[in-house]
Amino acid sequence: MTAVLEKNTKKVEKPLSKNKLLGIAGLAWMFDAMDVGILSFVIAALASEWALTPNEMGWIGSVNSIGMAVGALVFGVFADKVGRKKIFMITLILFSVASGLSALTTTLFAFMALRFLVGMGLGGELPVASTLVSESVAAKERGRVVVLLESFWAAGWIVSAVIAYFIIPEYGWRVALLITALPAFYAIYLRLKLPDSPQFTSKNTETRSIIQNMKDVWSKKFAKATLMLWIVWFTVVFSYYGMFLWLPSVMVMKGFSLIQSFEYVLIMTLAQLPGYFSAAWLIEKAGRKFVLVTYLLGTAASAFVFGSAESTAILIASGMLLSFFNLGAWGALYAYSPEQYPTVIRATGSGMAASVGRIGGILGPLLVGTLVTAGYEIGWIFGIFCIAIVIGVIAVIFLGTETKQIELE
């Protein structure tokens, strides 16, 4: 009788349906993207208001990525100890509150300090959320659902572009940042509705140390997969943050007004949605490797054309293709990463790979700022990102293994 009562008391959280889980995790993902997206527009506005140099503009984006590197590592390893749900909520609250406080700053140093905390929350939440969802969905549709989760990133960027276009010119960047702080209230809803990963709750993870989990990621069995992920994550994040955080500013450098740049970036951002949806459809039919390779090569080609574009039509068209291919590749990468490891080290492995990637996110914006200051052409700078992406493609081809519809350990 006692055993029966103990068994019943453990059934606190009922599993959510696939669509409800996707909706709850996806909205949090959208809020993440809204914050990252708004930063690209805020940097352009701050450059005008605070008379920032290109180097200072680059540091804003890089500090955000430093925080993301720390957050991905710290929160990733703890998610394998205390559960996906707890970390998911903590990171959501951290980035929301810090983002709201950053709207009140009056100095560049204070703004950057808070952006570091925002980055920690963002960096920790993304790999943990994708791990939780991948563990809660059947193998036959796991990849598709995780890519659809990533599609909420496009929705967040679109919302941020709309906020930037209508709010920043009229009411200023501070109001725009305050709007991005609203997700803090959503954490209360998460606490009530979101179950933890079934794989996590069914295993005794307390017997394993964090150090052991981190060592196992580089054990003989997983070393090849880890090397592949670290290379791909670094090259993808390096190029993404180097290009996308600078998009509005690059448009201004090419002779457009601040409002025009916001409008054109909004148009480019809309192309992210079909990029995600096409990747979600292909990933269960053609496989993870095919989608990653194809969409990354499309990203490289689009970046090359965008960097050297002289006419408005080519600029917008190549910018839309850049959004389409790059964000489709992101979706495939988030689906692919957790599938490389068993449950006990899945969040650790994904978090460590994301953390290495964020180092690329630190260097990308800084590289642009440094090279712009030195007088290099935007086309030449974007060519560097093309080369980086091709290196990532080579890593997937030669080091990656196909994980389509394979049951997770």
Establish if 261 belongs to a structural domain. yes
**Residue 4 pLDDT:** 43
Residue 209 lies in a domain: no
Q: Answer yes or no: is 107 within a domain.
A: yes
Contact 325, 154 (CB under 8 A): no
Q: What's the pLDDT at 181?
A: 78
Q: Label residue 176 exposed, middle or buried (CB < 10 Å: 0-12, 13-18, 19+).
A: buried
DSSP summary character for residue 205:
G
Specify whether the CB–CB gap between 86 and 124 falls below 8 A: no
Summarize pLDDT for 194-240 with one digit per residue, the tens. 777 665 655 544 567 888 989 999 999 999 999 999 999 999 999 98
Per-residue HEC secondary structure of 52-80 comes to CCHHHHHHHHHHHHHHHHHHHHHHHHHHH
- State how far Cα 283 lies from the chain centre: 19
For the chain, the first-to-last Cα distance in angstroms comes to 33
Q: What pLDDT, on a 0 to 100 scale, did the predictor assign at position 323?
A: 92
Enumerate residues 6+ apart whose C-beta is below 8 A from 145. Answer: 18, 22, 133, 134, 137
- Longest CA–CA separation in the chain, Å: 78
Our count of domains for the chain comes to 1
Domain of residue 33: give its range.
Answer: 17-188+217-399
Nearest to residue 334, comparing CAs of 110, 105, 127, 85?
127
Output the DSSP codes for 156-172.
HHHHHHHHHHHTHHHH-
As a whole number, the mean pLDDT across the chain is 85
Residue 273 sits in a domain of what CATH number?
1.20.1250.20
Q: Tell if the pTM clears 0.85, that is, is over it.
A: no
Q: What is the pLDDT of residue 44?
A: 83
User: Does residue 92 lie within any of the structural domains?
Assistant: yes
Determine, yes or no, domain membership for 114. yes
The torsion of the CA quartet 212, 217, 218, 221, rounded to 10 degrees, works out to: 110
Helix, strand or coil for residue 206?
helix
330-387 residue pLDDT tens: 989 988 999 999 988 998 999 999 899 989 988 888 898 889 888 888 889 999 999 9
Of 196, 149, 213, the residue nearest 345 (C-alpha): 213
Structural domain contains residue 5: no
Q: Is residue 352 part of a domain?
A: yes
Sole residue written with tokens 């390893």: 77
Tell me the two tokens of residue 291. Answer: 């989608």
**Two tokens, residue 144:** 């598709």
Q: Quickly count: other Cβ atoms within 10 Å of residue 257's Cβ.
A: 11
Question: Amino acid identity, residue 232?
Answer: V
CA–CA distance, 28 with 122 (Å, rounded to integer)? 10
Which residues fall within 8 angstroms of residue 327, CB to CB, at 6 or more apart? Answer: 150, 153, 154, 272, 275, 276
In angstroms, what CA-CA distances link 321 with 41, 274, 280, 298, 316?
20, 10, 17, 8, 9
Is there a domain that residue 211 lies in? no
Whole-angstrom Cα distance, residue 275 to residue 306? 17
How many alpha carbons fall within 13 Å on the CB side of residue 329? 27
pLDDT along the chain (409 residues), means of 10: 41 62 82 82 87 86 86 88 83 87 92 94 84 81 85 85 87 89 71 67 61 93 97 95 82 79 83 90 92 97 90 89 93 92 90 91 87 88 95 97 81
Give, as one character, the DSSP assignment of residue 407. Answer: P
Which residues, 6+ apart, have CB-to-CB distance to 335 below 8 Å?
Answer: 130, 134, 142, 143, 146, 147, 150, 283, 288
Residue with tokens 């005008």: 48
Tokens of 366: 């800084």
Length of the chain: 409
Distance of alpha carbon 328 from the chain centroid: 12
> What is the Cα–Cα distance from 254 to 263, expressed in whole angstroms?
14
Alpha helix locations (H) across 218-311? 223-244, 247-253, 258-270, 272-283, 288-308
* Alpha-carbon distances, residue 208 vs 77, 204, 212, 349 (angstroms): 11, 9, 7, 14
311: helix, strand or coil: coil
